[in-house]
Structure 1
Amino acid sequence: MSYPIIMCEDNQIQLQQLDTLVENYILFHSDLFKVELTASKPQQVIDYLDQSEPQNGIYFLDIDLKAEIDGIQLAAIIRKKDVQAEIIFVTTHDELAPLTLKRKVAALDFIEKDQPLEDYRQEIYDTLDYAKQIIDETRTVQKKGFSFEVGSQVYNLDKSEVIFLEASDIPHRLNLDSTNGKFEFYGKLTELEKKYPFLFRISRSCLINPENIHHVDFSIREIGFSDGTTQKFSIGKSKKLKNIIQETL
């Protein structure tokens, strides 16, 4: 699996330079990443997010995009649509760094554009090295499985045992359907979606583990699972669901 790299810079010369440096990094350092979009306008990035629904993207953003929204506002949109995104600001406005904390966009790094090319290149490469380290560590955590608490007891399941989670009729509680049985515990789907990227949201009230899909009927928007249960999915999830099935096979 490769992780998408998306760049947004209004200056075409600087955008081309950044693209060249990143492509060279990929060529000589890692096949973990793939440049998916080089954009000069923030709307191009928003359209990409809506159409491709990327996960774990690496985003290089200028702050002053000379558009209707700036890079920090764009980062906030990215964070909502790609919750595990790594956001890197490449800018001459590093004095705006505190504003990203206020906006809660959690930038991975700020890289100053106005510096010698060799230093600029090295900062980009160091940041991509760090992003790769984070991804590798995240993968290790994901392999450990899924944990939850029922009362004073903590359960640790292998992720392959998780079939789906759905909102309970009781407020603030979730129902877990697993290969080891059914459980109910306190939790929030949004928090689990962020903590366990292997889970995929098929509707406002349900997260699934694609590994346990048995079949999908797109005509009635229904997923059948390995234990015989079924769940309906939202029409807007059809394209992403097809992509996930292809990746899982």
Structure 2
Amino acid sequence: MLKVIIVEDQIDIREKLVTKITNYLIFEEIDAQVVLATDKPEEVISYVEVNPKDKYLFLLDIELIKDEYSGIELAEVLRRKLPFEVIVFLTSHSELSLIVLEHRISPLDYIVKSGDFESIMNSVRQDINRTMELLGVEDVVNKNYFTYVKRGRHYRILIEDIYYFEAVKDDSHLVMLHAKGRQVSLRENLIGLEERLADKGFYRCHKGYLANLSNIVTFSKRERLIYYDEEKTLVCPVAARKLRSVADRL
């Protein structure tokens, strides 16, 4: 999971950022969370010292002046402790970016706090998605999750919530994911998914289907069908030549 930490001394901006970012992460089902929002640099330093191996995105106010730390000084401390984590600066003065260059902090972005708040959030959303890519989604998420990209954004779903993948006719690069509470079209193919999920309980039971055998409620050899619920509404077909191998795996 990506941990987002916000350091901003204007409480109204800080609270808006927390609310908007949290809503965005929930709505887009991104594996990230705002874990700290503060105007106290020492709280941030204490947090990362206790959790040094986590993945972070820091949103730091450049103009912050608090105790013995400025925003830039806090960034320097964080860069020494966590050289590969992502820092984004919030600033009311774009010219301050030149000062940051002198300190070799290498932030991902500078977001100017001017204009309407939605323009700030547009930049924040882009930076969250870029951070997920930079840190590597496979490292960020738990191995019990299946991750996928949809319209440039990263999502995850518990593997145990997946029923099966279905190849879409007339499009060899499109697959439907059937799972608890969702159906999603993915730019994937069954061969790649079969290799990716080989050790997760999935089996190619049919030319056009990759089934999660761990979720089966009923398997009917006579009907050549896998059922994923008692009502027999969630159904995955099985090819005749695959009947024995499916039965052997259950």
What's the TM-score, normalizing by structure 2? 0.52
Q: How do residues 173-212 of structure 1 correspond to structure 2 at under 5 angstroms?
A: none
**2:119 matched residue in structure 1:** 119
Alignment identity in percent? 27
What amino acid is the match of 2:51?
S
CA distance in 2, matches of 1:86, 1:29: 20
1:55–1:83 CA contact under 8 A, matched in 2: no
Asked if the contact 2:65/2:71 (under 8 Å) is kept, the reply is: no
Which whole-Å CA distance do the structure 2 matches of 1:83 and 1:8 have between them?
A: 18
- Residue aligning to 1:86: 86
C-alpha displacement of 1:96:
1.2
The answer to which structure has the higher helix fraction is: 1
Gaps of 5+ in 2: 141-250
Q: How many residues align?
A: 139
2 CA distance for matches of 1:77 and 1:30?
31
| Partner Cα distance (1:21, 1:109) in 2 | 19
- Give the superposed CA RMSD: 2.0
Instruction: Tell me the TM-score normalized by structure 1.
Output: 0.52
Q: Aligned partners of 1:137 and 1:13: how far apart in 2? A: 31
Please report how far the alpha carbon of residue 40 of structure 1 lies from its aligned counterpart in structure 2 after TM superposition. 1.3
Deviations, residues 162-193 of structure 1 (Å, cap 9, x unaligned): xxxxxxxxxxxxxxxxxxxxxxxxxxxxxxxx
The alpha carbon displacement at 1:137 in A equals: 7.3
What whole-Å deviation, never above 9, does each CA across 1:15-37 have from its counterpart, x for those lacking one?
10111121122112243211111
Aligned pair 1:132/2:132, yes or no?
Answer: yes
- Kept after mapping to 2: 8 A contact 1:75/1:105: yes
1:8 Cα deviation from its structure 2 partner? 0.6
5+ residue gaps, structure 1, are: 141-249
Cα distance in 1, alignment partners of residues 72 and 29 from structure 2: 28
**Residue matched to 2:69:** 69
How far 1:78 sits from its partner (Å)? 0.5
Q: Provide the secondary structure at the position in 2 that maps to 1:107.
A: coil
In structure 1, C-alpha distance between the alignment counterparts of 2:48 and 2:139, rounded to whole Å: 23
SS for the counterpart of 2:58 is: strand
Map 1:48-59 → 2, pairs under 5 A: 48-59=47-58
2:108 and 2:62 map into 1 onto residues whose CA distance is: 14
Q: Which has the larger radius of gyration?
A: 2
| 2:102 paired with 1:109 | no
